[in-house]
Structure 1
Amino acid sequence: MDSNTQALDPPSPSRRLLRAAATGSAAVGSVLPLTAGFPASSAPAPAPPAGAEAAAGPVSPQEALRRLTAGNRRWRTYAQEHPHESAFLRLRLTRTQQPFAVVLGCVDSRVPPELVFDQGLGDLLTVRSAGEVLDEAVLGSVAFGVLELEVPLVLVLGHQTCGAVGAAVHADGSGEPLPAHLRYLADRIRPSVDHTRQGEARIDATIDAHARRTRDLLAAEPDFARRISDGRLAIVAARYGLRDQRVRTLA
């Protein structure tokens, strides 16, 4: 960020409302501190288990990516920990949330981010659309994580054998019409179609190209670009392999 850049203006009322909703405040304009007690209950609140504070988000994009990488390693080696599911944490999350990464992934039922990265409650802000297609709702959801929750990492997660990308590649090559809503998806994937390949190789290459293009579109957003320039945010493209369950980042 340029040294002459001014500090951000105080949040507008609408942004304060968003932040209040994000943190579970009791009333708009009255955000409870993180140390506030839980609501009264007939049963005593459980004591925090050992390592309970590990659910707090890391402060840097690099640490966030390391945490995702470690979780995916556990997943693909069948050493899942299923972290951050304790009764204590569930109560704590009624007051606040601090996810450490936004994962923008596909709706495919075989690629649930919390499982693929072996994460728990409060760890990930997941945004899913077929083929990771961007529209205003998806972009606004990512922005909510980055601008309101101060999430340091956005991971765009494509995956092997993506049906949305396959349909877009087929429509691009054949000219056959798709139903209206599927056509909307295909039209937004079409700029990523790799015309240097054929058959399954074209679909495979387009999956990677589309994840990269989505990353670049996000990184070009002015609010995100400012955070990238001063090191508060990283936006990374990646690909999940259905066969080996490995997530690989894309240059």
Structure 2
Amino acid sequence: MDTRISEIADGIYRLSTFVAGIAPPVGFTFNSFLVLGDEPLLFHTGLRKMFGSNRDTLSRLVAPERLRWIGFGHYEADECGAMNEWLAVAPDAQVAHGQTGVMVSLNDMADRAPRVLKDGEVIDLGGKRVRYIDTPHTPHGWDAGVMMEETTGTLLCGDLFTLLCGDLFTQLGDGPALITGDIVSPAAAAEDLFGYSALNPTMGTTLRRLSELSPGRLALMHGPSFEGDGGAALQALADEYDRRAGLHRAGVIERPEFA
């Protein structure tokens, strides 16, 4: 298993593992993001079975035991499957997540007590600052949230943009680490294929709230990260999901069926 490193912003590194057997023939990428600072943060732990590859790759940038914070978009195997493996190798590390995620999953599943983050709360990493933002049910988890690294303007999207920003802006295949241009059309195509999002009445509002942050980079859970007008991309994504929600209410769209 090969995990590759790319610096997508100053002091923010994408650790990307390509799996050819998912969504063949193009394959699928799983990304974690290391935010360096006095107190380094890992956003996405990766799948438990990917831990060895991710740990060895991360060690080329920083000693794993120096990790201080572990964050992710929501409770799901690719987002936090290796959470306890990272806690074991980093004795001072603490999982940080929103109140819902901590209450319904992490208080029980994390080997050390997690830190509860309020909506809008900031963690100062020393040289970097990450702000936690609740995004419930967007794209598909009750406990969903994102983190904005404020010194570089990088939005750590989780599955919000995986096919949409993490899982919302997920792009298929083994492409470049950082792209510009249209990311909404590929996200819509991925939504057509997987039907991964939980369409809900507040999805457009949630995405437009994020657009007001005007991120210059979107760090996506699956596929390449995006550099450009992140606010405009989020607005366009909100419009696309509002359109889909209207079609669903009208009974025009059916969810995809998997063989």
Q: Same fold (TM over 0.5)?
A: no
Specify which structure has the higher proportion of strand. Answer: 2
Specify which structure has the higher proportion of helix. Answer: 1
The higher-RCO structure (CA 8 Å, 6+ apart) is 1
TM-score norm. by structure 2 comes to 0.28
Of the two, which has the highest radius of gyration? 1
